[in-house]
A and B are shown apart, each in its own frame.
Chain A
Amino acid sequence: MMPLVGAEFRKLFTTRLWLWMLLVSAAWAAGYCALAIAFDTGKSGLMPPLSGAAGQHALFAIGPGGAGPLAAVLAAIGVTGELRHRTAAMTFLATPRRGRVFGAKLVTYLLAGGGLALASILVSLMVVLPGLTAKGIPISLAENGNLTVLAAVIASAGIFGIAGAGLGALAGGQLATVAGMLMYLYVAEPLISHITGLHEWTAYLPGVAADGLTQATQPGVPLLTPWLAGVVFACWAAAFAAAGTLRTVRRDITL
């Protein structure tokens, strides 16, 4: 299994896509944190004040937390790229046990997602620590449960990686997978999750569960507790991964 994971990482790092994803993720993390700090009034507004635990959680969950969907996009592009660029045949000739190949991809994008989140966290800390200190707001990673949130951000991005790989293998088409995922996460799900009558079960939707894991609170959207949300989100990812594995194993590679 290790050689296969190594081969997948080699695929990942021999094109520039990972670098672009890293840049976008880091830019989002730094930009969001800078704006949030600049517009923090110290009072409860659209977002809770950054002097409190809730405000700091939201800052980390939404800033470096942006790595999550990007990890899913990275994984989906990587997995569907094998069909798009017709390298799937060579990959399965080298390793005919397709389940193992796909397993290696899942491990790779779990780790890649976690790595992307970790890098984004480091970038955001470079903005947050001096930014809040300059405003006279004391912040410590060890306090307010901040470390737990950062760990949840890393876990969430890893799970996003698995979900993206699974959906990519299931759908097959590169553009369709990426566009579909982004449309769902940023258009469909926010619409559904704001319908009050559906709140009993909207917290179990994959994207809302991911928010629950990191406690990326949105006003008016109820979340599960972090642990339960994490389990629910992981179950979604596992289901996508299982479906993607089946599709990969059964697919005729005609191109």
Chain B
Amino acid sequence: MSVLSWASDCTPGRKERQAVMDEAGRIVASGLTKRFGAVTAVDDLSFAAGPGMVTGFLGPNGAGKTTTLRMLLGLVAPDAGTATIHGRRYAALPEPSRVVGAVLEASGFHPARSGRDHLRVYCTACGYPLRRADQVLEIVGLAGAGHRKVRGYSLGMRQRLALATALLGDPPVLMLDEPANGLDPEGIAWLRDLLRGHAVSGHTVLFSSHALPEVEQLADQVVIIYRGRLAGQGTLAELAGDSAAVSVRTPHTDQLIIALAAAGACSERTGPESVRVTGMPAAEISRIARLQNIDLHELGTDRSRLEQIFLRLTSRPAGQEPAAERTRSDQA
């Protein structure tokens, strides 16, 4: 315990954390720590998610994502640190359901209650008109199933019902724990449009996932957590740093390779019209191509590299594990 608190005192970034000023639509975790018995689930975690973008909260299973989200939502009391939304603790928000909509993994429903009745319970608790229940059922595509008991819902339908509950107050901030679980590809596409639309209209979206492709598809920026600690934060391209590869599609592959080589980048042809570039950010590639009058048809982060970024950020050389985890594995 003492080793841990010493370690967290020495963690850099405390001043940065202080500098992160809370403002509308911002979700801010600052030094969050939660222990369950001898296990430290979340360890001095600080990050922020802002409005206008979708933030993915990425980490392997058991990394502490759910505990973190529950601390942000006031369901789990942190042992140290603060969690604020809109500059306030969740419990201190005057009308929290009008500010934050949350979908929690494994959140449940009474099996014998209909989806519509479930929503009406929360309409009553939050002071919304009962017709709002039918509106959100419509939004999530459950209008036809609202009268059925939740017992008969599929996993995907339950996810939609949980999302409907989150949308009751039409909140600017959405927090979702593994929202794509149980959704079929059509459902995931629908979810993507919904979250994207929410962010584009200037709202905040934070969602957790253990699946990298999901985060790639949905997120503008990523917070990566590993064993309860922050492993990285930024856009995927930022996190990739210099090692990132950029894939370019152009009819003039030879010209581009020569031009980029002159600027110091390393390029290789990966297809008749595609080139993979390393050592140069996409913006610079675009600038050089424009100067050389080279048409670019596609410019994007090389997807195959993202897996490596994730693995690099979440792997830790042996012997550098925190004391608590060594104890845990010793006991195991």
Contacts and interface: CB of A to CB of B under 8 A. Distances in A.
Interface of A: 3-4, 6-7, 10-11, 14-16, 81, 85-87, 89-97, 250, 252-255
B122 A85 contact: no
B180 interface: no
A158 to B, nearest CB: 22
Contacts of A93: 73, 75, 96-97, 100, 102
Given A3-B127, A253-B76, A255-B106, 12 more contacts: A7-B122, A11-B110, A81-B110, A85-B109, A86-B106, A87-B109, A89-B70, A89-B73, A90-B104, A93-B73, A93-B96, A254-B75
A85 B150 CA distance: 11
B122 A94 contact: yes
Interface residues of B, number: 34
A239 B90 CA distance: 29
A15 B122 contact: no
B39 interface: no
A16 B112 CA distance: 8
Contacts, number: 86
A14 B121 contact: yes
A89 B112 contact: no
Interface in B72-118: 73-77, 90-91, 93, 96-97, 100, 102, 104, 106-114, 117-118
A247 to B, nearest CB: 13
A10 B117 contact: yes
Nearest to B168: A94
Q: Which of B97, B111, B114 has the most CB of A within 10 A?
A: B97
B122 A90 contact: yes
Contacts of A87: 107-110
A89 B110 contact: no
24 contacts: A3-B127, A7-B121, A7-B124, A14-B117, A14-B121, A85-B109, A86-B107, A87-B107, A87-B108, A89-B73, A89-B107, A92-B74, A93-B73, A93-B96, A93-B102, A97-B91, A250-B77, A252-B75, A252-B77, A253-B70, A253-B75, A254-B67, A254-B70, A255-B108
A94 B104 contact: no
Given A4-B125, A7-B122, A15 B113 contact: yes
Interface of B: 67, 70, 73-77, 90-91, 93, 96-97, 100, 102, 104, 106-114, 117-118, 120-122, 124-127, 165
A96 B125 contact: no
A255 B67 CA distance: 10
A4 B122 CA distance: 9
A97 B90 CA distance: 10
B125 A91 contact: yes
Nearest to B73: A93
A14 B96 CA distance: 25
A-B pairs, 9 with minimum CB distance? A86-B108, A7-B125, A96-B91, A14-B117, A253-B75, A7-B124, A15-B112, A252-B76, A94-B125
B165 A90 contact: yes
Contacts of A250: 77
A238 to B, nearest CB: 25
A10 B120 contact: yes
Contacts of A6: 124-125
B52 to A, nearest CB: 24
A6 B130 CA distance: 12
A98 to B, nearest CB: 9
Contacts of A255: 106, 108
Contacts of A4: 125
Nearest to A12: B121
B122 to A, nearest CB: 5
A85 B104 CA distance: 13
Contacts of B110: 11, 14-15, 81, 85, 87
